[in-house]
A = this chain, B = another copy of it.
Amino acid sequence: MKLAIYGYGNLGRGVECAVLQNPDAELVGIFTRRDPNTVRSLTGVPVYSADRVMDFQDEIDVLILCGGSATDLPHMSPELAKGFNVLDSFDTHANIPEHFKAVDAAAKGSGHIALISCGWDPGLFSLNRLYASAVLPDGKDYTFWGRGVSQGHSDAIRRIPGVLDARQYTVPVREALEAVREGKMPELTARQKHLRECYVVAAPDADLAAIEQAIVTMPNYFSDYDTTVTFVSSEELKRNHAELPHGGFVIRAGKTGLHGEHSHTIEYSLHLDSNPEFTACVLVAYARALTRMKSRGDSGCKTVFDVAPGDLSSLSPDELRKRML
């Protein structure tokens, strides 16, 4: 399969690395909205201006869109689905139905196939919510995130006056996780599920107490959580908080039997050293599936729910049954 990357940040670089691990994938090019002469790829793959992407229509099986969910993907995915099979990692959960509709209309109009909201959440976590709820209808599921860096929360702190840089970790509350694992099916508030740890670099003359107050009282982001704020030097932030780890847990507890006498728990968890690199790996596996679905005549917008698992693997159906079933 011939792939290309559109948007070259952390996720785009992750896709570039992931392609190397998949011998059936070839990276045709990287498309950037910056001046391509200022951008160097990690592996020597050519970098082109995003303006030129339409010239490559015949050379690309799947265009992997590595833009952001807030402002890029809502217009980028439907626009590019007019000319390419596209794959994105749109992760604004509340707006997924609207995004699906726009991409579906564009892809159906042009006879292309698209898959939105791919990655691990939405993505692998969504799959596990679905599988577990289909298997245990009489149950309750829980998603915990972390320990990991939330870019959105880190950005929110950076916007506070006097803050030079910041890194926010979302941390699942151990007691809540244990109660869920034991099948107790507790009702949990936001505060009971996650802690927020903030590492902040303040300007030399900044009012630290005011910054801390601004963080812990920030609505939506922090006020509903137990939040700790630790001021660190710029060097310390670079040394100890440069990586982008993440992960989390999807757990469903449910009952079976004539009178609900037996309890069961299904748990899925991820521990990721690099959130963008892992997300990129999921994207490349789904690019393989899209290529196959398109070659069977399928078109329009899909999600991970529409993809038969076997289409993700480079192994043949015979080999899969023999080696993995």
Asked if A129 and B324 sit within 8 Å, CB to CB, the answer is yes
Which of the candidate stretches A204-212, A219-227, A261-269 sits at the interface with the other chain? A261-269
Asked if A273 and B263 sit within 8 Å, CB to CB, the answer is yes
Confirm or deny: A297 has a beta carbon within 8 angstroms of a beta carbon on chain B. no
Asked if A135 and B305 sit within 8 Å, CB to CB, the answer is no
- Which of B97, B280, B304 is within 8 Å of A322, CB to CB? B97
Q: Given A93-B325, A321-B97, is A277 in contact with B305 using a C-beta cutoff of 8 Å? A: no
A325–B264 alpha-carbon span in the complex (Å): 23
Number of copies: 2
- Which of B124, B133, B303 is within 8 Å of A321, CB to CB? B303
Asked if B256 and A134 sit within 8 Å, CB to CB, the answer is no
Confirm or deny: A9 has a beta carbon within 8 angstroms of a beta carbon on chain B. no
Q: Given A42-B258, A262-B277, is A130 in contact with B305 using a C-beta cutoff of 8 Å? A: no
Question: What would be 5 A-B contacts, judged by CB atoms less than 8 Å apart?
Answer: A127-B131, A127-B309, A134-B309, A256-B281, A267-B271
Q: Which residues of A contact B (CB under 8 A)?
A: 14, 17-18, 20-22, 42-43, 93, 96-97, 100, 117, 122, 124, 126-131, 133-138, 181, 183, 256-258, 262-274, 277-278, 280-282, 285, 288, 303-310, 312-314, 317-318, 320-322, 324-325
